[in-house]
Amino acid sequence: MAFGLRFLRLLPKLKKSCKPPAEDLPADYDPREDYCSLKFADIWSDAEMENVLEYLKGNSFLRIPDEWRSILMDNDQ
């Protein structure tokens, strides 16, 4: 919770320092392919990211599109 609140406070500064938006992606780009090729060997144990992921997966308001559900929920990498 503290991390999230701190991030929200920093968000305006982050937006000001951001680079311009990247070029548009090709119409046939499928982000699921990129996601599936990612390696999750280091889950930042010092940042307790495992707790964040568990929280997100258990969030009753989380809406995952069907085409992503099997990738995100059934694949604990």
Give the least confident one: 22-26, 41-45, 66-70.
41-45
- Within 13 A of 31's CA, how many CA atoms are on the CB side? 5
- Does the structure show a pLDDT above 80 at 18? no
Domain definitions of the chain by residue range:
25-77
Burial tier of 72 (Cβ tally within 10 Å: 0-12, 13-18, 19+): middle
How many CB atoms neighbour CB 64 within 10 A? 13
Q: Over pLDDT 70: what percentage of the chain? A: 87
Q: What are phi and psi of 70, to 5 degrees?
A: -65, -30
What tokens were used for 6?
């701190």
pLDDT at 77: 46
CA distance linking residue 69 with residue 57, whole number of Å: 11
